[in-house]
Structure 1
Amino acid sequence: MKLIVAAILSLFISSQTMAEAPRKPGDYPLGADSEVKAVPHGQVIGPVEFHARAFPGTVRRYWVYVPAGYDAKRPANLLVFQDGQRALNPGGPLRVNTVLDNLIAQGAIPPTIGVFVTPGNLSEHYPDNLGMSNPDHRAEEYDALGDDYGRMLIEELLPEVAKTYVFRSDPKKRIIGGTSSGAMAAFTVAWNHPEAFGNVISLIGSYTSIGMHPATATTPFVPGGDTYPGLIRKSKIRPLRIFMQDGSNDLDNEHGNWFLANQQMVKSLEWANANADPWKLGPARYDLKYVWGDGSHSDQHGGAMLPDILRWMWRDDVK
């Protein structure tokens, strides 16, 4: 009997110890809205190969998420997400199509068409063995401050999708998002084209010098994403709603410190709002929300928050 009682006490103490185990940095479990539920599921079409005129010699893949009950007579909102192969990964931390299924079924967000795009790869056909890995033209597209990637989306890829599916043209009804360099690409598209996208999701954004190239005797200086804080402070405010997330254990390497870079972005956006009148940066203001955590260069924290990010983004569309 004593042995049985001792065993029970040992099991109780062990379970208590497990329950009280300290949380590890970067531990952000996914919530119920990121799990597959018994709700109407949208259809994911793709992958489709796409050769863009803006990037000759490259090929990319894209997928289209069509919400359950889609009605072409009632244009849906639009979500464009970079690194589409990871955004749709059913075993990954983002699971964007599952989140859309659940939130649309709840009535928490309006019906939304999703377009999930990979970066380009320098090949005739997209390699089947890449899996979740990055195509080889990602940095040239995502980490550049130029407008080639934005024009590719707006003038080439989205019109191709619009041949089959109807979505809203109002920038307030459109989100562009991504993680890491994909977040940098999303911000750049909205920065250059606020008439096309009025909402930005930026998770662990790479606002560093990845795309920067020093001047040489034969080539000019090319700026990188670390230029944005200065640009934001000295440019007209775009009418953008922006969500930013990063973690204190993000990367620190030859390109920069990711967490400091994201904090600089937030400080610049806040400064622009606070000084819009004296510096004649208005009349618009940035609608900004940010969350800092203790994660590393991982999609885990952003994925855990994604349902609430989308609720916040589309809050004006739900009564």
Structure 2
Amino acid sequence: MLWLTVCLWVCGNTPTGPALAPQTPRVTFEVTVPSGTPADAEVWLSGNHAALGQWNGTGLKLTRTPEGRYTASLPLPAGTALEYKVTRGSWGTVEKDAAGQELPNRTLRTGSRSERVSLSVARWADQPGAPPASASASVTGTVRYLRGVTSRHLPRTRDIIVWLPPDYDANPKRRYPVLYMHDGQNLMDASTSFSGEWHVDETAQQLVRSGQVEPLIIVGVYNTEDRFAEYTQARDTGEYAHLGGGNADAYGRFLVEELKPLIDKSFRTRTDAKSTGLAGSSLGGLVTMHLGLTRSDTFQRLGVMSPSVFWANRDIVTRVKGLRKKPSSRIWVDIGTEESKGSQETVEDARLLRDALVARGWKPGKDLQYVEVPGAFHTESAWAERFDDLLRYLYPAP
């Protein structure tokens, strides 16, 4: 009885310790690849989340199993909205459907429990026998391509897509304002977009023809594998230090000193800064804001969509606050209220940028338009839906 009494007292008074914190649910991806995929191939998931590389062509690397499938596991909070595709490390090797045509983004919204997602790749973009994609089927209006443009300031060549207004050929003496846009392969041509196109060509065609915006030329600058470096003005020293960064000024020299003179020579442009704009989303929004500050002698109409304000400890906000003189720029800034569920871009950070601009002299409703879009995520389709409003603001009909 004495032994039983001691046992009951000890068991009843053993400390239980703090309650264990609930674990973040994990998503396990399992990918089946087409026959003919090299045994040493690297397979990746690339998408709209930092863990998926923010659409850089790589992101989450999968491991090959003895059965020949590829798998990886990722902790993601409940309610995370993902869009992604399978690649072999670049957009030239992205997955396609069985006929070699473009696939819509794969999507996933995570739940409160761990889950397994099984995928099957029908074929790769570079797989022998895949039909070549044709731009003519998806591009609206008059478009010109400048292929393999080189630079003294950047190591990689890139393509340029140029959209011309409907009356360009009919009015040979007219000159037009110009909007330069980043991530050019996603703007107009479904055959080159890796996560859905913006329909910039269709939108601009409709708005110009209906008299809602001034006729303009739109120049889409394709990105390269150096996107993180070229679209960021500083290296990130925190969570994203491994992505590099800090080459935006060299990218700006390419745009100002090399590409713009080429465009001005090749097309009938208005060359002054008040007629010249720059626009982009995510990191493209970040570099637009940066170059709008440092290159205001060239770009004075700025479309800053879903900017990556978080980068390098909100360095862009610090730079706005440190301005000695306010440029004569007209600025559009927007953010979707649901973007933080799939990326690092947040309403709070966008408001910090807005407030910094206001403090330096921009006036909302006059030379600053700030928009929060209810329910919008960090996706190409979301930017496509509001590109018309951006164009109306930056290039209003005279």
TM superposition score normalised by structure 1? 0.68
Corresponding letter in the other structure for 1:164? S
Corresponding letter in the other structure for 1:137? D
Report the CA distance between 1:77 and its aligned residue.
Answer: 1.0
Report the CA distance between 1:273 and its aligned residue.
Answer: 2.1
* Aligned-partner SS, 1:68: coil
Contact between 1:269 and 1:286, CA under 8 Å: does it hold in 2? Answer: no
Report the CA distance between 1:138 and its aligned residue.
Answer: 0.2
Structure with the higher helix share, 1 or 2: 1
Corresponding letter in the other structure for 1:166? R
Per-residue Cα deviation, 1:4-25 (whole angstroms, up to 9, x for no partner): xxxxxxxxxxxxxxxxxxxxx9
Query: How many angstroms apart in 1 are the aligned matches of 2:335 and 2:197?
Result: 15
Deviates more, 1:88-97 or 1:42-51: 88-97
Corresponding letter in the other structure for 2:327? R
Matched, 1:137 2:245: no
Matched, 1:205 2:286: no
Residues 48 and 286 of structure 1: is their aligned pair in 2 closer, same or farther, counting only changes over 3 Å?
A: farther
Contact between 1:245 and 1:290, CA under 8 Å: does it hold in 2? Answer: yes
Say how many residue pairs are matched. Answer: 239
Matched, 1:312 2:393: yes
Aligned twin of 2:6: none
Alignment of 1:25-44 (within 5 A): 42-44=141-143
Corresponding letter in the other structure for 2:210? Q
Query: How many angstroms apart in 1 are the aligned matches of 2:392 and 2:345?
Result: 30
C-alpha RMSD over aligned residues: 2.6
Matched, 1:46 2:46: no
Aligned twin of 2:200: 96
Query: How many angstroms apart in 2 are the aligned matches of 1:207 and 1:72?
Result: 42
Query: How many angstroms apart in 1 are the aligned matches of 2:218 and 2:258?
Result: 16
> Pick from 298, 301, 304: which aligns with 2:382?
301
Corresponding letter in the other structure for 2:370? Y
Aligned twin of 2:276: 174
Aligned twin of 1:116: 220
Aligned twin of 2:261: 159
> Pick from 342, 361, 367: which aligns with 1:287?
367
Contact between 2:275 and 2:300, CA under 8 Å: does it hold in 1? Answer: yes
Query: How many angstroms apart in 1 are the aligned matches of 2:181 and 2:268?
Result: 17
> Pick from 252, 260, 269: which aligns with 2:357?
269
Query: How many angstroms apart in 2 are the aligned matches of 1:301 and 1:63?
Result: 22
Residues 237 and 252 of structure 1: is their aligned pair in 2 closer, same or farther, counting only changes over 3 Å?
A: farther
Contact between 2:290 and 2:316, CA under 8 Å: does it hold in 1? Answer: no
Contact between 1:103 and 1:109, CA under 8 Å: does it hold in 2? Answer: yes
Query: How many angstroms apart in 1 are the aligned matches of 2:304 and 2:383?
Result: 9
Report the CA distance between 1:163 and its aligned residue.
Answer: 2.3
Corresponding letter in the other structure for 1:237? K
> Pick from 102, 106, 110: which aligns with 2:210?
106
Report the CA distance between 1:169 and its aligned residue.
Answer: 1.6
Q: Which structure 2 segments of 5+ residues have no match?
A: 1-80, 82-139, 235-247
Report the CA distance between 1:47 and its aligned residue.
Answer: 5.3
Aligned twin of 1:229: 317
More RCO (CA 8 Å, sep 6+): 1
Corresponding letter in the other structure for 1:84? G
Corresponding letter in the other structure for 2:270? R
> Which has more radius of gyration?
2
Deviates more, 1:296-305 or 1:171-180: 296-305
Corresponding letter in the other structure for 2:141? G
Query: How many angstroms apart in 1 are the aligned matches of 2:376 and 2:178?
Result: 29
Report the CA distance between 1:181 and its aligned residue.
Answer: 0.8
**Percent same amino acid at aligned positions?**
24
Report the CA distance between 1:170 and its aligned residue.
Answer: 2.3
Residues 162 and 141 of structure 1: is their aligned pair in 2 closer, same or farther, counting only changes over 3 Å?
A: same
Report the CA distance between 1:189 and its aligned residue.
Answer: 1.8
Corresponding letter in the other structure for 2:338? N
Report the CA distance between 1:72 and its aligned residue.
Answer: 4.1
Aligned twin of 2:162: 64
TM superposition score normalised by structure 2? 0.55
Report the CA distance between 1:53 and its aligned residue.
Answer: 0.9
Aligned twin of 1:79: 179
Structure with the higher strand share, 1 or 2: 2
* Aligned-partner SS, 1:273: coil
Query: How many angstroms apart in 1 are the aligned matches of 2:176 and 2:320?
Result: 31
Corresponding letter in the other structure for 1:75? R
